[in-house]
Amino acid sequence: MKRFLRLMLALVMILALGACGKNAAEPAGSEADNLVTIMVNLKGLGGNIAVSDDDTEPQLEAEFPAQSAFLNVAKGTVVKILAEPEEGYHFFQWTVDGKAYSTEPLITVTAEEDTEFLAQFLPEGKDGKPVDLDTVKTLGDLLGLPDVGSGLTGTTYVYAFEQDGSTWRAVCDVSEETAQAIFDLDFDDPDYDRKLNDLIAPLPVRVIENLTENLPTQQEADQYLGKTGQELIDDGWTVHFYNLDEMRFGMTYGVYSYDIIFEGKIKDPENFNEDTDMGGLTVKTITCDGIGDATYVEAPEE
């Protein structure tokens, strides 16, 4: 009798494991294939966002309002997205893939494919029209244009923006006192954007550069043909990606990014070190593929 019970128990376990195995054998990712990713972010400064996917109206968090959101939802899910400006700003538009999508701060979308929505806000008094760059005196004259980054290097502040199909940047000199005040700002402060703008808006603009117009020509890029990878590294180039099978490297020099194919081989690809293993590589082909870091400036010598 005991043997019979043991056999029955073993049979039950086998059937249970078989059921689990059957479930595990279902096509992997079948549920994931039905999921859509909805991302919501800010394009620049000046506001906050909220989302909902349960038929309720999106509500901003009172204490810590969000500036980005990430949802994984089933295809066909209705998602509501709200943009709300901070004091001193107004909502301008939503964009998707760089194109205008809606000028309504509250939008309702149906999740059909992975999509990123960007909310753009402008300072009060700006309507998104191009700025006459010849009349710009301070950085406040530019704040609110579609920006592609800003940054402080030593006592130089750079604000990069888009206008007329080009990427531009304004370069400003900053006093040590103001630079320290910018550095001391707390990123977690809900009022961070306003405090930063209060500090940078009065900065006199030293120069405005059209980075797109100044993209290196092929002739200028070809001057690096035959140079070794180590020579480039020593001159200040940085590696941002590489494919050792094709010997293709993405490298950045100044504000521009380059696609480079090298001649030569890496002795130990598994332990490749870009700072020490590029001396035996020489530039075979090189093209400038766009703007890498629009805010890059050389740190002033001490």
The model's pLDDT over 149-206, given as tens digits with 9 standing for 90+, comes to 899 998 999 999 888 888 999 999 999 999 999 999 998 888 888 899 899 999 999 9
Our count of domains for the chain comes to 3
Query: Which pLDDT band holds residue 26 (cuts at 50, 70, 90)?
Result: very low
Of residues 53, 58, 59, the one with CA closest to residue 72: 53
- The answer to whether the CB of 108 falls within 8 A of the CB of 75 is no
CA-based R_g, the chain, Å: 27
pLDDT computed for residue 168 by the predictor:
94
One-letter amino acid of 161: F
Domain membership of residue 251 (yes or no) is yes
Q: At what angle do helices 192-200 and 176-183 cross, to 10 degrees?
A: 170
Please tell me whether residues 72 and 100 are part of one structural domain: yes
How far apart are alpha carbons 140 and 200 in whole angstroms? 7
**Structure-model confidence comparison of residues 216 and 64, the more confident one:** 216
Tens-digit pLDDT profile for residues 223-279: 999 999 999 999 999 999 999 999 999 999 999 999 999 999 898 989 999 888 999
pLDDT computed for residue 88 by the predictor:
74
Please tell me whether residues 100 and 139 are part of one structural domain: no
How far apart are alpha carbons 200 and 76 in whole angstroms? 44
Q: What are phi and psi of 272, to 5 degrees?
A: -60, 130
How far apart are alpha carbons 210 and 202 in whole angstroms? 22
**What range does the domain containing 262 cover?**
218-291
Domain membership of residue 28 (yes or no) is no
pLDDT, average across residues 75-81: 95
